[in-house]
Amino acid sequence: MAFLQAAATRATSFTGKKGRLPYLLLAPGLFWLFAFFVLPILNLAATSTQTPVVGGDTGQFVQTFRLANYIDAFNASREQFARSFIYATLATLLALAISYPLAYAIAFRSGKFKNFLLVLVVAPFFVSFLLRTVAWKQILGESGFVVPTLRALHIIGPQTTLTASALAVVTGMTYNFLPFMTLPLYASLERIDPRTLEASNDLYANGVTTFRKVTLPLSMPGVVAGTLLTFIPAAGDYVNAAILGNPNTTMLGNVIDSRFFRIVDYPTAAALSFMLMAAILILVTVYIRKSGTDELV
């Protein structure tokens, strides 16, 4: 009897442990999120409503819960706000236009070179983001091959330059985020059963109709994922505008950067960060709802 009882207690203690086990396994991750995401966010939120200490030094702020900080910050940087979203949208659309044919070719037409081409898509990541962006300064500069070629073809005038322009910023962003567009597109295109394309062909749809009615709808999860992965970092980017742009092409990221590190205006920088985050979150939510691809993912 004693043995049976011991066995029974052991059984219950096992099930008790089983109930706690998932939480124990989650604990490190939750701790990480709390320490390095939740706390900093709360700290940022607190900073965003502070005001300078009267008569204090630069960088001394006191909590006054001044929500008008947000309105002031927005009014001061409307232009950059708009630019961030316009540039990010342009870069996303350009990246989509370049990536779709590329991903399509890799998924359906590359044969044994498939893996090699995928490595090529990812290869730029082996070089630092900054270096890659600086490289574009060279490519679009006077000594690069692009400007002389375009001048020789009379596409641009002899005085026109390409660096330090909106074009350069958008080009840089398109280039830098291209793999984020290509890889999800490839993944969703590659998953399409080629027999569904044959079935479409068999059911009186020619190549174009098959693409429009079957391939494109089936690749929508990749389009949505790719555009999000490109748009979100692009909207918050400041490196491309800093290196490839001019004072008239600054984006919100540049403003946040200078408010934090040069002007040392923490509250405004924090308020702008929050607004950027909120704007992206709202846009993304609307976008996902509208595209209605959740059941395909």
Give contact residues for another protein (rule: CB under 8 A). Answer: 193, 195-196, 198-206, 209, 213-214, 217-218, 220, 295-296
Minimum distance between the CB of residue 219 and another protein, rounded to whole angstroms? 10
Comparing CB distances to another protein, the nearer of 214 and 244 is 214
Q: Shortest approach of another protein to residue 72 CB, angstroms?
A: 48
Q: Which residue has the tokens 């709360």?
A: 42
| Token code pair at residue 91 | 């870069």
Q: Decide if 214 contacts 200 (C-beta within 8 A).
A: yes
CB 193 within 8 A of CB 160: no
Tokens 């597109």 locate to 185
> Least distance from C-beta 115 to another protein, angstroms?
23
Residue with tokens 């011991």: 6
Taking the complex as a whole, the smallest distance from the CB of residue 109 to another protein amounts, in Å, to: 17
User: Is 218:188 a contact under the CB 8 Å cutoff?
Assistant: yes
Closest distance to another protein from the beta carbon of 133 (Å): 38
89 vs 291, which CB is nearer to another protein? 291
* Closer by beta carbon to another protein, 49 or else 200: 200
| Size (the chain), residues | 297
The span from the CA of 180 to the CA of 122, in Å, is 9
SS3 57: coil
**HSE toward the beta carbon, residue 204, CA cutoff 13 A:** 0
The CA-based dihedral angle spanning residues 140, 141, 142, 148, taken in that order and rounded to the nearest 10 degrees? -10
Least distance to another protein from the beta carbon of 202, Å? Answer: 5
What does the alpha-carbon distance between residue 110 and residue 292 come to, in Å, rounded to a whole number? 30
Nearer to another protein, 54 or 208 (CB): 208
For helices 78-104 and 166-190, what crossing angle results, to 10°?
A: 40
Q: Cβ closer to another protein: 104 or 180?
A: 104
Measured from the CB atom, the residue of 19 and 194 that comes closer to another protein is 194
> In whole angstroms, how close is the CB of 8 to another protein at the nearest point?
43
Task: Please give the Cα distance from 51 to 253 (Å, whole number).
Answer: 22
For residue 50, report the phi and psi dihedrals to the nearest 5 degrees: -85, 165
Shorter beta-carbon distance to another protein: residue 57 or 193: 193
